[in-house]
Amino acid sequence: MIRLFEDFFGVVKKRFNSGIEDDYKPPMFKCPRCQSLSPLSKYEELHRVCPLCNYHGRLSAAERIAVTVDKGSFKEFDADMKSGNPIDFPDYTEKQEKLRESTDINDAVVTGTAMIKGSEVVIGIMDSRYMMGSMGSVVGEKIARAFEYATENGLPVVMFTASGGARMQEGIVSLMQMAKTSGAVKLHSDNGGLYIAVMTDPTTGGVTASFASLGDIIIAEPKVIIGFAGRRVIENTIKQRLPEDFQLAEFMHEKGFVDMIVERRKMRSVLSHLLKLHGYDKKEV
Amino acid sequence: MEEKRSAWERLQLVHTKGRPTVRDYIPLVFSDFYEMHGDRLYGDDKAILGGIGRLDGRPVTIIGQVKGRDLNENKACNFAMPHPEGYRKALRLARQAEKFHRPIVCFIDTPGAFCGVAAEERGMGEAIAKNIAEFMTLRTPIISIVLGEGGSGGALALGVCDELAMLENAQYSVLSPRGFATILWKDASREQEASEIMRITAEDMVSLGVAEAIIEEPLGGAHNDLDKISENIKEYLSLKIPEKCQKDIDELLKERYTKFRKIGEFIE
């Protein structure tokens, strides 16, 4: 019976689609969570959310700014900062030059000030297109400066995290960025500042084990990966396959490490409410 | 001092059976040691020990990652790979040290925090992050010493300090050379090449501003003369602990923050 229905719908679908030119195939999006295909145009229209499973896909820093802050309000910090090569890692400098050409960013995080529905914030957005959002000297420095600026000016911080972890090519120097960023978060916190971390796809490794996990409030987008150790590393350690939902935002929410899961279309308004609940709408602009 | 070994040779040396562990050093460096247990939240992680003892008569808090000296001990301490509760125990004892104005001595010796299901479920990322942030502002002096392996965030969780010392053959790295080769080159067999390129030796740490001191090991390595290496560790601590204790605490905290704040290389 079920089979019959499938056939029936299949036929109906075919008839429906027959009006379109035969050789036209719309570009499709394959969801990394549910593996299903949907038209790319639909996925883009939803600001990169899978229409079938609600997986929230990756946005570039510029796209994230566009959907999050008040139009025209973003003022960038340290836009020209570029990485050195602290351990003289072969090809690191060249690799970055290429990346800077192919993207619109100079490293894996963009920071600055902006308004969210009238509340002034210091904002940081990690961009996974740049070496998987890994944290090296530039990411560490820009994030530390952003928190220090917020501390000095009594501003809240909203940080969108997306990272594969430490930047291997900077060796131990990348590990130390965990201390640098966490220290700056701590001073901001001790000064009474609000910090909202928004974990986006993926938030892992050294970023999870530093500033991402230190938010007063931790928000995650649906179905994104959040964890410390990589899935494959754990599978190799325990010699067994992990369940599908392991390290998804919902899993971390269930375990108590994420306060709330917020859909992209509601993010701006949730952030605005939370900022206002902490009195950040009274700020003179 | 002997001729300098390569990073790879030192890596072999710190994995030599019989290399002393924190449990070997404690009775020779401190007196009146009392071990404390548990994080008061979940359990007692045997991969991290903590307690109170005396250094030259002065009460100090001692926290360290525990390597086993044989397979049974290693099973018990999970090969020095802590779970979140280990880091939370460390933080509990560190806060206790702050309350009673005791300086803290941390011994780092871990391949890394444990990578497993339970560790993730109990929030490994949060536990490490919390330690790093809290240690940055603990109002008591902290000295850390890397005994053998300082692997990744699992090491840094005991590594935010006023001064870091490396035993001569110890290493400190963002990831084990094996893991590094696997991630960057998809080839674990290039471990040796990774170890030479990553800059993981005691001298590297000093030149990169990560460590301030190197504690000399006896000829052939620490395992050759436990008394001598313990004496060297004690001599270092006996010099540094009073020095840090004399400092104004706000000044010390500023210097601690600056120590980490200035590490990194970028162009503006």
**Spans of all domains in chain B:** 7-259
Residue-level pLDDT at A25: 82
CB contact under 8 A, A84 and B160: no
How far B135 CA lies from chain A's nearest CA (Å)? 9
How far A229 CA lies from chain B's nearest CA (Å)? 6
Most A CBs within 10 Å, among B88, B115, B258, B267, to test the A interface: B115
Section B93-121 average pLDDT: 97
Select the residue of B120, B133, B184 nearest A247 (Cβ to Cβ): B120
**Domain A57-277, CATH:** 3.90.226.10
Section A149-173 average pLDDT: 97
pLDDT at B226 over 70: yes
Domain ranges of chain A: 57-277
**Bridge-partner residues for A233, per DSSP?**
none
CB contact under 8 A, B125 and A174: no
Work out the pLDDT band at A8, boundaries 50, 70, 90.
Answer: very low
**Contact call for residues A141 and B265 (beta carbons, < 8 A):** no
Q: Is the dihedral of CA B79, B81, B83, B87 positive or negative?
A: positive
pLDDT above 90 coverage of chain B, percent: 94
Residue-level pLDDT at A6: 45
Which amino acid type is present at position A129? R
pLDDT at B203 over 90: yes
B174 at the A interface (CB within 8 A)?
Answer: yes
Work out the pLDDT band at A22, boundaries 50, 70, 90.
Answer: low
CB contact under 8 A, B137 and A180: no
Work out the pLDDT band at A36, boundaries 50, 70, 90.
Answer: very high
Buried-exposed string B176-197: b where 16+ CB fall within 10 A, e elsewhere: bbbbbbbbbeeeeebbbebbeb
How far B119 CA lies from chain A's nearest CA (Å)? 9
**CA–CA dist A209, A207 (Å, integer):** 5
What is the 3 state secondary structure string of A2-41? HHHHHHHHHHHHHHHHCCCCCCCCCCEEECCCCCCEEEHH
Distance of CA A219 to the CA centre of its chain: 11
Class of domain B7-259: alpha beta
Mean pLDDT, chain B, integer: 96
Residue of B213, B56, B266, B126 whose CA lies nearest to A144: B266
Distance of CA A234 to the CA centre of its chain: 23
B183 at the A interface (CB within 8 A)?
Answer: yes
Work out the pLDDT band at B77, boundaries 50, 70, 90.
Answer: very high
Return the residue of B nearest to A247 by Cα: B120
Q: What does the pLDDT look like over A78-130, one tens digit per residue?
A: 999 999 999 999 999 999 999 999 998 999 999 999 999 999 999 999 999 99
Section B63-75 average pLDDT: 95
CB contact under 8 A, B267 and A140: no
Kindly give the pairing relationship between strand B58-65 and strand B171-173.
Answer: unpaired
pLDDT at A17 over 60: no
**Contact call for residues A68 and A123 (beta carbons, < 8 A):** yes
In chain B, what residues touch A136 (CB-CB under 8 Å)?
A: 264
Least confident of A13-17, A90-94, A205-209: A13-17
CB contact under 8 A, B133 and A183: yes
Work out the pLDDT band at A16, boundaries 50, 70, 90.
Answer: low
Residue-level pLDDT at B2: 59
Mind giving me the DSSP string for B40-54?
A: SSS---TTEEEEEEE
The pTM assigned to this predicted structure is 0.94
**Contact call for residues A176 and A142 (beta carbons, < 8 A):** no
Cβ burial, residue A249 (10 Å; 0-12/13-18/19+): buried
Section B103-125 average pLDDT: 96
Q: What does the pLDDT look like over A211-258, one tens digit per residue?
A: 999 999 999 999 999 999 988 888 888 888 898 889 999 999 999 999
In chain A, what residues touch B260 (CB-CB under 8 Å)?
A: 176, 179-180, 183
Mean pLDDT, chain A, integer: 92
Q: What does the pLDDT look like over B147-199, one tens digit per residue?
A: 999 999 999 999 999 999 999 999 999 999 998 998 889 998 999 999 999 99
Residue-level pLDDT at A20: 53
Q: What does the pLDDT look like over A139-156, one tens digit per residue?
A: 999 999 999 999 999 999
Residue-level pLDDT at A5: 47
Which amino acid type is present at position B72? N
pLDDT above 90 coverage of chain A, percent: 83
In chain B, what residues touch A187 (CB-CB under 8 Å)?
A: 137, 257
CB contact under 8 A, B263 and A177: yes
Work out the pLDDT band at A12, boundaries 50, 70, 90.
Answer: very low
Work out the pLDDT band at A282, boundaries 50, 70, 90.
Answer: low
